[in-house]
Structure 1
C-alpha cells in the first residue's frame, strides 16, 4: 500500500519495514533531496540516512500512530518525521528540503546564536491551504497538542485571528513575486488552553518542479525561550563575576581575615539571590553539637546568631539525614514540609522562614557543617545554576576553613613549641648540618651558666669536655646519615664546673638529607650526685654490716695486746733497751683502735661526742706525736693563727682527720724524694672571704685549716675518688683515712677544697664553722694523785664472764696480780647458774656484752634482780647507740668499751671497792 506522502511532490518520503528497518519505497522528491538513485536507497537500512537511531527503535516498536521521532538526515540537518502505518508492519519517514539562509533571510539563526548562544528550534511545513504537512513534536507540545491531532489540519487557525490575514497576504504576495524567503516575523499562536505563545518565524515558500508554489516551510523559535536565554546569559555573567570575586577575595586574604571573607561572601550571595538571611553552622563533638559561626542579614531582618549556639543536632533529625548523605536540602515552601520533618518545620516557622536551601560543608567524606539561605518575606525557588553557585561557595568555605584551621594549628603548634622552648627546664638546641649552634633556649644559661650569645654560630662540640668529644662527633655523623643515635651522657663545660647532661640528637630531614639537628639535653648532674650518694650509702651499709661483725672480735684482740703491753711495761724499767720496741707496739695498738673507730663512724655505729675544742691545740698534739716517729728529713712548718680558733667537734675525729692528712702527706713526700715539708696553716676568715664561697654564705664565723705538702701530687682522675671509702693508692692502705675526713667535715656543714699539681704537691683546705667557748665551757681538770693499786687478796671476789679465752686469761692474770680472786666463766647461761648458787660471795661482776646463750646486758639485768647492790662492769667491743643509751641509764652498771686501758679498770675497782 502506497502511503499518502509517497505521492507528494514537495515532501520527501521513505517507507520502511518496521522489524528490519529496511527501505521498501521512496518517492522522487526524496531521491532529489538525498541526491541518490533508487537502487542506492531501496533495500538499505534507514540508519544509513538518519542520525540518532538509538532513540527511534524502541519508540517505533510501540506501533503508535503519532509522530514518534524528530531527527535529521545525516549530513543535511534536514528535519525528519517518522510514523507507523495502520497495519503495524510499515513505517514512513517524511522530510522536506531545509530553508537555506541568504541575504533576504536575515541570517536568522546566526544572529540569535550571537545573542543567546546555542538554541534549539522547531520546524513546520504546510500546503497553500494551510494544512499541516509536518511539525516537530516539541512545537506541537508547546501549543498543547500531540502531532497526530494537528496533521492535515489548518495550522493557521492556531494563530491569533488578527494575524492570520497578514500571514496569508504576505505568503501570496511573495509567491506571486516568485520570492522564496519571507521576512522574519513575530507570530502569536494560541495554546490549546487559550493562552498566547509568541514565536519568531523564518519561513520560505516551497515550489514544485514547475516552479509553482505548493506550500510553506518555517523555522520557529519560542520568543519566551529567547528572552530566558538572554536573561540566563546575563545571569551567567553575573555568576561568573561573583565566583571570580569570591575566589580572588579568599586567595588574597590572610588566615586571620578569612572570617571577614566568609561574612562578605554570605552578603554577596545573599544579595544576589534576594534572600533575607545567610549563615554558616559548624559541627563539633562528633556532630552532636552545632554552632552558628557566621551570619548575614538583609536590612530589617533580626540577626539570630547569638541564639543559635551550642544547639544539639538531634533537634533536626530529618535535616541531618540529608546532610549525612551529602545532599542539598531545598525547601521552597516550609509549610509543605512532610510530617517526619515536624521538628524542623516548627523551628523554621518560629523564625518566620518561608523558604530555604542548605548546602552541606564536607571535608572529604566527613561532614563538618552547612551553609544556609533563608527567605523570610517571600517564598523562593532556587534555580539549578544558583544551586551550582552555592556548591562552589561551599567548596570555597571548606577550603578556607581547612586553611584557617591548618594555619591556626601551625601557629598554635609554633606558640606551644616557643613556650616549651622558653620555659622548658631541659636544654633545647638546634644545630646546622655542620654542628654549629643555630638556637639555644634559656635553660642553656641556667644549666651551664654561659650566656647564650657567646655560643651562637659556634660548634656545639666546644661545649663538650675533651674526653667526650669523639663520641659526640660520632653521634653527629649518625644524624647526618638520617638516623637518630641513642641518648648519651656528656660532660659539658659549665661556668662553675662540669655538668653532666643526657643528650639526645634528632635529625630533621629535607629531601632525604639532615638539614638541621634538633637536640634535647637534661641536666643529670644532681642525679649523678644522688646516684653517687646512693652508691656511697650502699657501700656504707656494707661497711656497717662488716663493722658490726668484726668490731667485737678485733677490739678483743686489741684488748689482749693492750693488756699484755701493760704487763710488759710494768715489768720493764724505763731505761730498758726493749722500752722503745714496746712504744712501737703501743702506737700499732692505737692505729688499730683508730681503724675500728673509723669503720664504726662510717657505718654510723658510733656517735661522735661533740665538745668545744681549740683547733690549734689539737694540731699541736697530733704534730708532737708524729714528730716522734717521722724521719727528721720531713719538716713540719706550722703557721697557726694567733687568735684562738674554737670549733665544736669530736676530739677523736678531729685528731684523726689531722693525723690521716699528715700521714698521707708524709707518704706523698717519700714517693717523690727523701725530704720535704708539710705546712699547716690556720686563720680566721673575714666576712668578705666567707661571702665569696657560696656554700658558706649562711655561716657567720669560719676558720680555715690548710695542710700542704710538696710531695708527688694527685692527678685529676684520682681526685674524683679521694673521699670514697676503701679507695686507696697505697698497697697496704685501708682507703678509710680521707673518707673519714670527708664525713667529719660534712657532718659539721664544713667545706673542703683540693688543689694539686702532679709532681708539685697538694694542698687540702678545710673551712670549718667556728663556735664560741661559752657554748660549752671547757671543764677544768683537777689534778689528783694517781692511786696505786692495792692488793686486797681474798677480800674481793670477781665474777668474770668473757667468751674470748685468751682475753679471759689475760684479765684473770692481771686481776690476780693485784690480789683479786677471779671466777672465770665463758657463757651467759653458765654464769647465771653460778651466780644463783654463789650470789652472796660475789663482790663485783665483769661481764662481756657479746657472750653466748645469754648476752651481758640480759645477764646483768637478771643479776640485779637478785642483788640490787651489786656493781657490774659491762665491756664490749661494739654496741649499738640505742643499747648503749639503755645501759647508761643504770647507775649500777659501768660501761667499758674495748680496747680499754687495764689501769682504768684497776682504778675503777679500787675506787668502788674502797667505797664499799
Structure 2
C-alpha cells in the first residue's frame, strides 16, 4: 500500500504528464476530477510527515503551508501566507538559488540537500524536493522539506564505523610481531592516528615506575598549535592521580567533560588540570590481570568536548593493544637477554644445548653444539649425523646408554665419548648429559640435553698424570741412583782390595774398571730417560 509521499508524487507526475499533452489541462478537467484532486491534496497536506510549501513562481509568495511546515518554521500559517519565501528561509541560500532555477523553468523537478537553521539556532539537515506545476492557472512550486537528521546520523555512523574499523586494523597490524626497539615509535604513530580520528588536541600514555610509586608521561602526540606537556609530567607521585585511580582500579574510564565544573572536593585535581589549560579529558586504564600499568587519554584544550561511546571504545581497545604489546615486548626483551647470556655462557664453557623431538624426529641445537661437532650452522646436524661421528669403539657404549635411559633402567644420559670430525679427522672428547620425557604410555617422546667439548680438559688431565708419573719416576730414579752409586762404590773398594793383594794384574783391573764405569753411565742414562715425560 502506497504512503502519503508516494501518493503525492503520483499526483505530481500525473499532472506533469497531462500538461505535456494538454497545456490547458487546468481549464478543461471536469468538476468531479477537480474535486477529487483537491481532496487528495487536502489529505496530503494534512497528514504528511514532512513540511510542504506552495509558492507562487511569479511573486515568490507563500500560497499554502501544512502543519509540519508551521512546526518547522515555528510560526502560524496566518502570519506567513502571502509573504515572500525569503522571510521564512533567510539562512538557506541554496533555496533561493533553486527557486530562481525553477522560476526560469529549466527543470520541472529537483531535489537538493541543505541545512535549515531554526529560530533557536539549531541546525537541521533537510532534503528539499521541488516540483513546478500549474494550479488553477497559476504556476506554483510544490516544495517538500524532509528532516533527514536520522538518515544523516545513520550515514555518519556508518562512515564513522568504517573509519573506526580501518584505523583499528591499521593500528593492530602495526603491533603484530613488533620488536622492543620499534615500540616507542609505533605507539607515537598510533596516538597520532587516534588523535586525528577523534579530533582531539592531545593524546598520550602515562606509565608507572617499576615500584608503582611514580608515574610519567612516556608517549605523546599534539595537534597543531598545541604545546607538548610530556617533559613537564615526569616522575610524578602516584597520589597525583588518586581521583583517577579510584575509577582505574574498578576497570572504568575517567571522563571529565568540563574541568571548570569539577566539584569542590576535587579542587586539587581541578587546579592541576587548569594549570595544563585543559577543558575536557577522557582517560582509560592500562591493566594486565588487574595490575595497573598506566593509562591512555585524550585532552581537549581549545573547547569543552563530549566524546562519543565510539571514541571511548576505541581508546579502550588501543589501551589493551598498547599494554599487551608492551608486556610481550618486555618478555621478548628479557628472553633475548637470557638467550644472549646463555649463548655467551655456552661459548665460555664450550657447552652446547640440543633438543630432539623423538616422535617427529626433529633435532634442534645451539650454535656451540654445531661448533663442537664441526658443523656450520646452516649444515645438517641431526641425531644420525651426530652418532656417525662417534668412533666405533664408543658408539656401542653410547647406544647402550641411550637404550637404558629409554627403558628407564637409568634416570638420565651421562656419558663421555669420542668423536672424529669429518673435515679434519680431529679426535674430540665429548661429555653429554640429557633427560628424557615420556608420554602417558611410557614411550620416550622428547630428549633435551647438553654436550660439552672436554678435549682440552682430557689433555690437561692426561698431562697432569704424566707430570705426576715423571715426579714419581724421578723419586724412584733418585733412590736407584743413590743405591747404584753405593753399589759401584763397593765394587771400587773390592777391586782396590784385590789389586792390593795382587789377585788382579794391572791389565785385568783396567778392563774391569772400564766396564764398571761404562755400565754405570749406561744405567744413569736409562734413569734419565725414565724421568722424561711421555709425549703423544
Counterpart of 1:386 (choices 299, 311, 327) is: 311
- 2:98 is aligned to none
Aligned match for 2:81, one of 165, 168, 171:
165
Residue in structure 2 matched with residue 266 of structure 1 by the alignment: 191
CA distance in 1, matches of 2:365, 2:528: 46
- One of 450, 461, 471 as aligned partner of 1:519: 450
Q: Is 1:338 equivalent to 2:254 in the alignment? A: no
Quick check: 1:430 aligned with 2:430?
A: no
Are 2:434 and 1:505 aligned? Answer: yes
Alignment-derived partner of residue 357 in structure 1: 282
Pick aligned residue for 2:485 from 617, 640, 659: 617
Q: Which structure dedicates a bigger proportion of its chain to helix?
A: 2
Could you say which residue in structure 2 is the equivalent of 1:285? 210
SS of equivalent to 1:441: helix
Residues 491 and 498 of structure 1 are in contact (CA less than 8 Å); yes or no, is this contact kept in structure 2?
Answer: no
Q: Does 1:243 find its partner at 2:143?
A: no
1:322 — aligned with what? 247
Matching of residues 747-826 of structure 1 within 5 Å: none
Larger radius of gyration: 1
- 1:295 matched residue in structure 2: 220
Closer, same or farther: CA 476–232 of 1 in aligned 2, 3 Å: same
- Distance in 1 (CA, whole Å) between partners of 2:278 and 2:126 is 39
Distance verdict in 2 for CA 1:391–1:161, change over 3 Å: same
Structure 2 residue matching 1:370: 3-state secondary structure? strand
Instruction: Report the counterpart of residue 842 of structure 1 in structure 2.
Output: none
Going from structure 1 to structure 2, the CA distance change for 1:463 and 1:155 (only over 3 Å counts) comes to closer
Post-superposition offset of 1:320: 0.8
* C-alpha displacement of 1:240: 3.6
Provide the aligned length of Structure 1 versus Structure 2.
401
Q: What is the distance in 2 between the residues matched to 1:269 and 1:437?
A: 44
In the alignment, the residues of structure 1 paired with residue 240 and residue 342 of structure 2 have an alpha-carbon distance, to the nearest angstrom, of 41
Secondary structure of the corresponding residue to residue 393 of structure 1: helix
Question: Could you tell me whether the CA contact under 8 Å between 2:405 and 2:411 is conserved in 1?
Answer: no
TM-superposed deviation, 1:295: 1.5
- In structure 2, distance between residues paired with 1:194 and 1:499: 93
Structure 1 CA distance for aligned equivalents of residues 333 and 308 of structure 2: 37
Residue 474 of structure 1 and its aligned partner are, at CA, apart by 4.2
1:473 to 383, 395, 399: 399
**Deviates further, 508-517 or 222-231:** 508-517
Instruction: Kindly state the Cα deviation for residue 380 of structure 1 after the two structures are TM-superposed.
Output: 1.9
TM-aligned CA distance change 1:310 to 1:507, over 3 Å: farther
Deviation at 1:249, TM superposition (A): 3.4
1:319 CA drift (Å): 0.7
RMSD: 5.9
Contact 2:195 2:201 in 1 (8 A): yes
**Structure 1: how far apart are the matches of 2:364 and 2:528?**
43
CA distance in 2, matches of 1:451, 1:241: 52
Distance change (3 Å), C-alpha of 1:130 and 1:494: closer
Distance in 2 (alpha carbons) for counterparts of 1:472 and 1:385: 66
Note if 1:441 corresponds to 2:368: yes
Cα distance in structure 2, aligned partners of 1:309 and 1:485 = 59
For residues 469-521 of structure 1, the C-alpha deviation after alignment (integer angstroms, 9 at most, x for no partner) is 6564244346668x8963565344499999795x5303489999746642255
Spell out the pairing of 1:407-806 with structure 2 (5 A cutoff). 407-423=332-348, 425=349, 427-430=351-354, 432=356, 441=368, 458-459=385-386, 466=393, 472-477=398-403, 486-487=411-412, 490-493=415-418, 501=431, 503-507=432-436, 514=445, 517-519=448-450, 617-618=485-486, 620=488, 681-683=523-525, 704-706=528-530
Contact 1:440 1:452 in 2 (8 A): no
| 8 A contact 1:280–1:292 mirrored in 2 | yes
| Distance in structure 2 (CA, Å) of the matches to 1:754 and 1:618 | 33
User: Residues of 2 paired with 1:435 and 1:250: CA distance?
Assistant: 31
In structure 2, the CA distance between the partners of 1:640 and 1:402, relative to structure 1 (3 Å rule), is: farther
CA shift in 2, pair 1:275/1:407, >3 Å: same
Retained in 1: the 8 A contact 2:481–2:524? no
> 1:344 & 1:106 partners in 2: Cα distance?
65
The 3 A distance-change label for structure 1 pair 517 and 245 is closer
1:258-299 Cα deviation digits (max 9, x unpaired): 322211111122223332321112234364433322221234
C-alpha contact 1:428 1:521 (8 A) present in aligned 2: yes
1:389–1:422 Cα change, 3 Å: same
- Rounded to whole Å, the distance in 2 between the matches of 1:361 and 1:273 is 19
- Determine the structure 1 residue equivalent to 2:88: none
Distance change >3 Å, CA 611–CA 196, structure 1 → 2:
closer
Given the superposition, is the C-alpha separation of residues 485 and 157 from structure 1 closer, same or farther in structure 2, using an over 3 Å criterion?
A: same
What secondary structure does 2:449 align onto?
Answer: strand
Distance in 2, Cα, partners of 1:612 & 1:265: 90
Answer whether contact 2:286 2:320 (CA < 8 A) is retained.
yes
Structure 2's unaligned 5+ residue stretches are: 13-39, 51-66, 84-108, 130-143, 421-425, 466-475, 493-514
CA contact (8 A) 1:430 1:518 kept: yes
Residues 289 and 155 of structure 1, relative CA distance in 2, 3 Å threshold: closer
Aligned to 2:234: 309
Correspondence for 2:94: none
| Structure with the larger RCO, 1 or 2 (CA within 8 Å, 6+ apart) | 2
Provide the TM-score with structure 1 as the length reference: 0.35
Contact in 2 for aligned 1:328/1:357 (Cα 8 Å)? yes
Q: Show the 5 A alignment for 1:858-877.
A: none
Q: How does 1:54-69 map to 2 (within 5 A)?
A: none
String of CA shifts for 1:9-41, please: whole Å, max 9, x gaps: xxxxxxxxxxxxxxxxxxxxxxxxxxxxxxxxx
